Amino acid sequence: MTAVGRITRRRLLFLAPTFWAVSGCRRSAPPPAAPATRPAASLEAGPAAAYARYLAGMRICLDPGHGGDADRPGYKRGPTGLREAEVNLRVALMLREMLTEAGAAVFMTRENDTALSDAGAEDLRLRAEVANRNDCDLLLSIHHNASATNPDANFASVWYHGDVDDNPASLDVARHLAVALIDALDLPQTLGCPVLSDELIARTGFAVLRHARVPAVLTEASFHSNPDEERRLADPVYNRREARALFAGLARYAYGGLPRARLVAPADGVVIAGGSRSVQVELQDGLAQRRSWGWDRRQILRDSIRVRLGDRVLPHVYEEQPDRVWFIIPPDVPPGRPRVRLQFQNVFKHSNTRPDLGIELREGGAGGAS
Ligand SMILES: [Zn+2]
């Protein structure tokens, strides 16, 4: 939109707020993938929340954990033999149905009782690769927990990879999913903080999350090692309740928008070492395209913007309208592929999903000669 267009719009807003609130939304085209009405109420648990419409167009990879392991005695089974792999798959298939109905594009790592590779490590890498290859907005790995020592244990947890600062967008998804599961499942225990790092379990975290280059979380909705919970998990109606909770969590995440940082200059990411070394990035708040009331005000938290080169924070300039950030690759950085990341948050405090800018610093002078 031009500056003139913005002024005109604001004047309209000042003169006739009620008119604009009603007619402005109608005049602006809605996002092409969003349905005009709420999703159909055909699911057992009742109608979906109105904001589930914002799932439309999202690309979601569902990973039902395990599979192809029925011949391993006692492997990932409850006290009477219920297999975790089967429960994970049932929940995932139900969730796929709900997400598809809401207009999301769903990619499954498996649809049958199979593994992607006989080698465990390769199996997990390939699962993450499904999300990477399909440019998904997120990877959700669906699991159920077990305790070898405490049959009473039964609580929900959601896991992210690495350090708490590494993957802020994964934390956004995890928070929504954790609260939705706790609300829906009514389990006997609740962790003080249900969002946990995979490094608490394994030194290098969970492979399926570690290999993901998109926001990725793993849910352990409840404990199949708990006899009462094993009984509940064997019931498809209860599985649907869990799928419904995951759906609600994902819908709430979608509602808050998925911000993006888009490289504007240099468009190909190649910075010439002897040139200006300047980089320009467009910040997309993930909300403006809805053209909802107030859409043309700033919806990015200014103080949330951080540009990092490795562990180093780079100074930047932020300009509103349009949301742009400028920064310089410092002169002491040698040619190569420095890891430059830009993070920011929108009004929902959702972080951008692709912080890595993919910058390459090449030898050469200001004229581009090399
Ligand atoms: Zn598992």
pLDDT at site 73: 78
Q: What is the CATH number of the domain that holds 246?
A: 3.40.630.40
Residues 55 and 153 occupy one common structural domain: yes
Residues 300 and 227 occupy one common structural domain: no
Residues 223 and 95 occupy one common structural domain: yes
Please write the tens of the pLDDT for every residue from 59-101: 999 999 999 887 887 788 888 889 999 999 999 999 999 999 9
Centroid of ligand 1 to alpha carbon of 138 (angstroms): 19
Q: Would you say 296 and 212 are in contact if contact means Cβ atoms under 8 Å apart?
A: no
Strand order in the sheet with 260-265: 260-265, 278-284, 324-328, 316-319
Centroid of ligand 1 to alpha carbon of 224 (angstroms): 10
Residue 106 within a domain: yes
Centroid of ligand 1 to alpha carbon of 156 (angstroms): 13
pLDDT at site 366: 56
Please write the tens of the pLDDT for every residue from 5-18: 333 333 333 333 33
Residue 282 within a domain: yes
Q: How far is CA 207 from CA 142, 195, 366, in A?
A: 14, 18, 43
Residues 270 and 235 occupy one common structural domain: no
How many distinct structural domains can be found in the chain? 2
Centroid of ligand 1 to alpha carbon of 208 (angstroms): 11
Structure tokens at 358: 């993919």
Residues 75 and 57 occupy one common structural domain: yes
| Full residue range of the structural domain in which residue 200 is found | 50-255
Centroid of ligand 1 to alpha carbon of 50 (angstroms): 32
**230: amino acid identity, one letter:** E
Residue 4 within a domain: no
Residue 13 within a domain: no
Instruction: Report which of 72, 132, 125, 62 is spatially closest to residue 97, judged by C-alpha positions.
Output: 62
Q: Which of these ranges, 27-41, 62-76, 301-315, has the smallest mean pLDDT?
A: 27-41
Residue 132 within a domain: yes
Centroid of ligand 1 to alpha carbon of 64 (angstroms): 9
Residues 82 and 195 occupy one common structural domain: yes
